[in-house]
Chains A and B, each alone.
Chain A
Amino acid sequence: MTVTVLRPGPLTVLKDRGRAGHAGQGVAPSGAVDRSARARANALVGNSPDAAVLECTLGGLRVRFDSPATAVLTGTDAVLSVGGDHAGVEEVVEVPAGAEVTVTMPRRGLRSYLAVRGGFAVPPVLGSRSTDRLTGIGPPRPAAGDVLPIGTAPPGGRGTGTASARGATPPAGEPWEVDIGPRDDWFTAVALETLLSAEFTVSPASDSVGLRLTGPALSRSRTAELPSEGVVRGAIQVPPDGQPIIFQSDHPVTGGYPVIAVLTPAAADLAAQARPGAKVRFAVAPG
């Protein structure tokens, strides 16, 4: 059972849970940029949580199934079109053999996740089927004409997952929750206050490695050079120009600038769906 890529759209890659355990070799976890949307897609079609899905940025993907399949799309308000019929948002659909399936352009959000029951069974690299956009490790980016194998469906029913309770895309304008640190002591009190009160704008120079923000500069109290240290997804790193960069899933293993705060995993998923121009505020996460 296979899926043939007819058109990959602006940017479609394979993603799974990521590649843990190789940071000592300079290999970051990678994995889906919006983790909860990927997890929901797998749950809805009854896949194991480790299954690989297609992460599709701004729609445009068109594929053909050679056999009947069960599929779903999550993450944005883009919908699956099966032979011209539109499915509802996060609706599990049965795809007939030979059908052409497209992912429409979302009106809100950025990254959609197409899961097929059985998962995309391309060969894993260092234990993961995620393409790391920074290093190029992982399966190659699907191109027109590529044939992607589908794995064996796990036993059991179609899926136990439920569509997102809050809708396919979260409400805009909700602050992104952060935990302060680990290097908040490298910043002035004013910088911390600014981080938690000012509005920032998502810059077009953003990708799955980093979300770049513009706004009032966050000033440092220590100007010494920080020796490079390990960083995490969601870390808000502040270079000398004071404009924050939020690390996303394809971030490097280490960073050389102090991290003022780290997004909660849920907030990092919100960041994964923020388009250039979006306005962003931060709030301290409760306990």
Chain B
Amino acid sequence: MRFLRCGREAVLVEVDDLPAALSLYAALRSAGLHGVVDLVPAARTVLIHLDPAVTSPAAVERATAGLPVGGADPAGAGTVEIPVRYDGPDLDDVAEHTGLTREAVVALHTGSAWTVAFAGFAPGFGYLTGGDPRLDVPRRDSPRTRIPAGSVGLAGRFSGVYPNDSPGGWQLIGSTTERMWDLDRPEPALLTPGVRVTFRAVQ
């Protein structure tokens, strides 16, 4: 665990890898440290926002270093199954790029459980990791100006579902009617860090 000061109101904690970051995030969430106002989990770090009127970066670092990390199961965040129509405009390009058939792309995308690594890009957009390494594809050379909500995409080793209409450069392989972001739910985002996700093909 490496602590990097991030101004007066935050500490960036760097760990070895994504599972360690998710584990630290889970531990920090349940610890509810005094003066900590928000947490930003990412690929290899957790950013701790603090209220400098209540605590200090040094105190937060000491408390964090003492947390039991690694024991907690970050998958306690829950599981979600997402039905997908695999008819995306980039499915052929993805098949060509990976040297797989369209059917094989679908089989690999639905064949393993993904984990929400972190949220970003837009509210409710979860970066999903843990898929089959053969699905590693580059972003599109030219991003689309408008991608409809519910589009399921691939980029690098990540998969993700666009929560709202937005521009974007991911390779689109399908779509879902499941709502990724709904302000009428107590927790508007369906995909939050640590949640396990499986995709199911539907017609």
User: B104 an interface residue at 8 Å Cβ cutoff?
Assistant: no
Interface residues of B in 27-71 (CB under 8 A from A): 37-47, 49, 52
A76–B164 alpha-carbon span in the complex (Å): 36
**Interface residues on chain A, number (Cβ under 8 Å):** 34
Cβ–Cβ contact B6 & A228, under 8 A: no
**Given known A-B contacts A230-B40, A231-B47, A135 and B189 have beta carbons under 8 A apart:** no
Cβ–Cβ contact A227 & B7, under 8 A: no
A148–B115 alpha-carbon span in the complex (Å): 43
User: A183 an interface residue at 8 Å Cβ cutoff?
Assistant: yes
Considering only CB atoms, which chain B residue lies closest to A22 in the complex?
B38
**Residues of B contacting A262 in the complex (Cβ-Cβ under 8 angstroms):** 6-8, 10
User: B12 an interface residue at 8 Å Cβ cutoff?
Assistant: yes
> Interface majority SS on B: helix, strand, loop or mixed?
strand
A10 to chain B, nearest CB (A): 25
Considering only CB atoms, which chain B residue lies closest to A254 in the complex?
B120
Considering only CB atoms, which chain A residue lies closest to B17 in the complex?
A227
**Given known A-B contacts A20-B38, A230-B45, A26 and B7 have beta carbons under 8 A apart:** no
Contact of B47 among A179, A230, A264, A265 (CB under 8 A): A230
User: A190 an interface residue at 8 Å Cβ cutoff?
Assistant: no
Instruction: Digitize B1-37: 1 where CB-to-A-CB distance is under 8 Å, 0 elsewhere.
Output: 0001111111010000000000001000000000001
A109–B203 alpha-carbon span in the complex (Å): 57
Cβ–Cβ contact A29 & B45, under 8 A: no
**Residues of A contacting B189 in the complex (Cβ-Cβ under 8 angstroms):** 24-26
**Residues of B contacting A21 in the complex (Cβ-Cβ under 8 angstroms):** 37-38
B4 to chain A, nearest CB (A): 4
Contact of B41 among A24, A27, A252 (CB under 8 A): A24
Cβ–Cβ contact A26 & B44, under 8 A: no
User: B193 an interface residue at 8 Å Cβ cutoff?
Assistant: yes
**Residues of B contacting A229 in the complex (Cβ-Cβ under 8 angstroms):** 12, 40, 42-45, 47
> Interface majority SS on A: helix, strand, loop or mixed?
loop
User: B192 an interface residue at 8 Å Cβ cutoff?
Assistant: yes
Instruction: Digitize B71-86: 1 where CB-to-A-CB distance is under 8 Å, 0 elsewhere.
Output: 0000000000000000
Contact of A235 among B7, B39, B125 (CB under 8 A): B7
User: B187 an interface residue at 8 Å Cβ cutoff?
Assistant: yes
Cβ–Cβ contact A182 & B40, under 8 A: no
Cβ–Cβ contact A228 & B118, under 8 A: yes
**Residues of A contacting B6 in the complex (Cβ-Cβ under 8 angstroms):** 181-182, 232, 235, 259, 262
B18 to chain A, nearest CB (A): 9
A39–B62 alpha-carbon span in the complex (Å): 31
A-B contact pairs, 23 of them (CB 8 A): A22-B38, A23-B119, A24-B25, A25-B187, A25-B192, A26-B189, A135-B122, A182-B4, A182-B12, A183-B4, A228-B43, A230-B40, A231-B47, A232-B7, A232-B9, A232-B10, A234-B7, A235-B6, A253-B119, A254-B40, A254-B120, A259-B6, A262-B7
The 9 A-B pairs with the shortest beta carbon distances in the complex, nearest first, are A230-B47, A230-B40, A262-B7, A26-B119, A182-B4, A227-B43, A25-B189, A254-B120, A20-B37
Interface residues of B (CB under 8 A from A): 4-10, 12, 25, 37-47, 49, 52, 118-126, 183, 187-189, 192-193
Known: A23-B40, A234-B7, A265-B7. 13 other contacts (CB 8 A): A21-B37, A24-B39, A24-B41, A24-B119, A24-B189, A25-B124, A26-B119, A26-B121, A235-B7, A252-B121, A254-B42, A262-B7, A265-B9
